Amino acid sequence: MKAIITGMNGTVAPIVAETLKRHEIEAIAWNREQVSTTDEVEMRQFIEQIHPDYFLHIGMGAVEWAETLARLCGEMSIPFLFTSTVSIFSDDVTGPISPDTVPDAEDDYGKYKRDCEQAIARVNPGAQIVRLGWQIGHEAGSNNMMDFFTNEMKQHGVIQVSEHWYPSCSFLEDTADALFEILTKRGPGIYQLNGNTSYSLYNIAVGLKELHDTDWQIESTDEPKRDNRMIDSSVTIRPISERLNLQTK
C-alpha cells in the first residue's frame, strides 16, 4: 500500500511517515521542487502515477492547493486527510472545545487553516479534517513545544509560564498513531486530537524538564488565563500524562 504525504520538511509529516512505514504503507513525499502545487494537470498526473491508497495533506501551502488536492482525491476515490489546528479558534473561545464549536480565529495562521477547512469540505465531503494541538517533540530543532521552552530559556535565562493556561497538546508519536487510526479506520468528518485533559502549561514544562533532565529554570505566572483544550469522544489519543510525571500545582 502507498500514501502520498505533503509536508515532509516539517514537524508532523516525517513522524507520520515512520508510523505508516511501521504499518507497511509506503509514504511517498510530495516534492514541491519536482511536482507543482499550482498546475492542476501536473498534480493530477503525479497522483495518477503513484495511484496511492491514501493521501495526507500535512504541509503548508496555498488554500487553492489544499482545495485542488481534496477535489482530485475525491474524484479518484482516494481517502484524503488534512491536518488542521486548534489555532482556528481564537483565545476568546474557552474549552472544552467540541468539534461543533464554530471556528473564529482572525489572525493570519488561524484564518488560513479555517479557509483550508472550508474549501476542503466544500469540494470533498468525504475528506477527514483533523485538528491538532501543540506538538511535543523530544528535542529542540523543529516547530514544537520543546523549541518554545528552549528558546525562552536561551533568551531570558528563565521560563516564565502560566499555571492557568491549559493547552491542547500531544506528543508527536501519539499524534501520528492517532492520525493512522483515523485514516484507516474512521469515516469522513472533523476530528480533534488532544492528549491533555487537566494540566497547565506550567505543569507540562516541569514534566518535560524532569523527562529530559534539563537545566531549565521555571517560574509560574498567573497570566495568561486560557483554556484551549479540545475534546472529541469519537477518537482516542495517548494522554501526555503517560509520558510525563505530571502533578497539578
Q: For residue range 69-113, what is the model confidence (pLDDT) as tens digits?
A: 999 999 999 999 999 999 999 999 998 999 999 999 999 999 999
Q: Cβ–Cβ contacts within 10 Å for residue 170, how many?
A: 25
- Cβ neighbors of 170 (< 8 A, separation 6 or more) are 132, 133, 135, 136, 178, 193, 194, 195, 196, 237, 238, 240
pLDDT of residue 195: 97
Phi, psi of 194 (to 5 degrees): -150, 120
Residue 66, H or E segment: helix 63-75
- Could you give phi then psi for residue 139, rounded to 5 degrees? -160, 160
Paired sense of beta strands 134-136 and 2-5, if any = unpaired
Is the C-alpha dihedral spanning 11, 12, 15, 21 positive or negative? negative
Helix H, strand E, coil C: the string for 4-62 is EECCCCCCCHHHHHHHHHHCCCEEEECCCCCCCCCCHHHHHHHHHHHCCCEEEECCCCC
Position 249 scores a pLDDT of 46
For residue 227, the SS3 value is strand
pTM value is 0.95
Query: Which letter, b or e, does each residue of 239-248 get, where b requires 16 or more Cβ atoms within 10 Å of its Cβ?
Result: bbbebbebee
| Domain map (residue ranges) of the chain | 2-134+169-193, 136-167+196-228+238-242
At residue 209, the pLDDT reads 93
Q: Tell me what pLDDT residue 104 has.
A: 96
Rounded Cα gap, residues 115 and 247, in angstroms: 38
For 2-134+169-193, give the CATH class.
alpha beta
pLDDT for res 247: 62
- Given this model, what pLDDT does residue 36 score? 96
The segments of the chain whose pLDDT lies below 50 read 249
User: Which grid coordinates are listed for 19?
Assistant: 508510523
